[in-house]
Amino acid sequence: MNLLRAAAPDTLPIETILTCCVLFLAVEIWTEKKTHAALHILAAHNILNGKRAALPHSSEVATVYKPMVDELVVQACTFGDDFPPPNSRLSSYYKLDYGLEKVDSVWNWKDALDVLNQLLKCVLRVTSRPVSCPLRSKVKSALGRFSDVLEELHTSEAPPSEGSMAGEEYCHLRFHHRVAYIMLHTLGQEDESSYDDFLEDFGFVLQCCETMMKQRVSNAASRSPSLVSPTLGLLPPLFFVATKCRDTVTRHKALDLLHDTSVSERQWTSCMATALAKFVVDQEADGLSALAKGDSTTKATKRIRLLHAHFTGAEHKVDLEYAVFLDGQLQGICTAILPYKSHPSVEIDGVTATMSRKSDEGLWIFKSHPVYATC
């Protein structure tokens, strides 16, 4: 960055400056395991929309850099509690429908993964703020079309992506698509009981996760260790089921599978996710009318909504903020300190990580390359 300043940026081609911004951003995201890097994203956005944007430049700026920066801004708007900053001239409503049009241009499994990644971000954003009914309908329609696209890819026997086994991507995308469907109809609602209408969908997600975990174990011998395919992760959907599905059998099975994944996905480890999910399950168990594990007819009157979590690996603790609901009514905001220590095989360098309020609800959006280990 210092060298770039010394080189008189105004004299450099706009492509060079944008490339530097993206490289600096990538280094910060991957070395610090962040979901975004506000400084570099804003710099790139300002360059594209400032005085220099009116100057003649190559077509690459419009066809390559502009879409890339737009996607980075959308990523930051999805996950950053502090983005966009008040003085940035960027609206939190920036391109809320970004990526929806790509549903109609999916030709292979890689395209499908990229599109679902965008759909999930779009769902998170439209459910976290007041939006028009037409926009929600647009998102719902895109999710419906994507379901048809998945079936077409599956029936056409499209070859798997490099690093994936046959059928694995279909299973993976199906349950993440179902998670997006549940989120669109539940996130942002005040009443936590809205999740009770999707017990069958939660069961489907759980079954697919279990199937995929078994497939990975059975395919481990034939899979090349040097090839790891991009994924939306296993921790997010299992965490979602364990904390939002109030069917006793389903959520406890999700909790067990969550621990058994033994993976590290970006800022999260399976131990982190299990500790938080277990806290929610145990707290809500206080409100069960019947405490017998395995009784699927029990109804929880106490509901927990996680708001904020700060993990400190060096101190082996989690500082937690959460809301408590009784019979659908908010009772108050509480805090707790949970003992926490990941197994060394999945610990992320004694990490201190703050999970944003947005990430707590939608930690499953960012792509990750899981590291398989034993927890």
**What pLDDT, on the 0 to 100 scale, is given for residue 115?**
95
pLDDT per residue as tens digits for the range 211-267: 999 887 777 666 554 456 778 889 999 999 999 999 999 999 999 999 998 887 767
Q: 209: Cβ–Cβ under 8 A, 6 or more apart, which residues?
A: 175, 234, 237, 238, 241, 254, 257
Any idea which residue has 């992760």 for tokens? Answer: 233
Q: What is the model's pTM?
A: 0.83
Largest Cα separation within the chain, whole Å, is 72
| pLDDT over threshold 90, residue 200 | yes
**What pLDDT, on the 0 to 100 scale, is given for residue 291?**
40
Give me the DSSP letters along 193-238.
Answer: GGGGGGHHHHHHHHHHHHHHHHHHHHHTTTS-TT----B--SHHHH
Q: Which two tokens stand for residue 1?
A: 């960055």
14 or 33, higher pLDDT: 14
Backbone angles phi, psi at 211, to 5 degrees: -60, -45
Query: What integer is the mean pLDDT of 51-74?
Result: 77
- Of the candidates 244, 320, 252, 324, the residue with the CA atom closest to the CA atom of residue 283: 324
| pLDDT over threshold 80, residue 19 | yes
Instruction: Give all strands of the β-sheet with 329-339 in edge-to-edge order.
Output: 329-339, 317-326, 302-312, 352-355
